[in-house]
Every structure is written in C-alpha cells, then in structure tokens.
Amino acid sequence: MKIQYPTLKTPLTIGVTAPSSGVEQHLHLLITEAEKQLIQRGMKVIIGNTTWTQFKGRSTTKEKRVSELMDYLLDERIDVVMPPWGGSFLMELLPLID
C-alpha cells in the first residue's frame, strides 16, 4: 500500500494558533524558522498571539485560546489552521466553541 499525501497549492495561507500549548520564549526561534521556510515555499503565514505564550502547559486562558481559534477557523483568508504543537488542553475549549 502506498501512502499519498495531499499536494498543497500555493499561495496557501496557514494560520498558526495555540489552542492548547504555546511556545516557551527560548523556543521562539523554532516558530520563526518554520515561518521563514514556509514563506520560502510560497505560503503566507499568520501567527496568532497565543503561539508566543506559555504558562503551566497552556498558551493562555481558555477564553483567549478559543477566541483566537474561532477567529482563525472563520477567517476566509486562512486555508489551514494548525497549532505549533501539543493538544492536551484543547479539550477544555469544546464547551466554549460556538
């Protein structure tokens, strides 16, 4: 069996938001480098505020996380929404999603 991956067409806009775990300051370079590589491949990148913060395993309060996530999911300019990593605390948002 052969695995086939989808082909991403450019220009593609990727929204990065952290609905669970954000990125600690000493690792911000990883996000910056990933953004640079995606831009070099012809993609547009929008990085949310939640991506840059981290406190006790969460990027910020659940209200701020769900607000940014919903904004990104409803933004017609954004083709793909993805987290920087993690996801253990994403379940906290389910009751808040409209």
**pLDDT for 16-34, tens place per residue?**
999 999 999 999 999 999 9
The answer to whether residue 10 scores a pLDDT higher than 80 is no
Residue 23 lies in a domain: no
Q: What is the pLDDT of residue 86?
A: 79
What domain range includes position 92?
A: 60-98
CA distance 34 to 8: 16
CA distance 35 to 58: 21
Domains in the chain, number: 1
What is the identity of the amino acid at 60? T
Does this model's pTM top 0.85? yes
Residue 39 lies in a domain: no
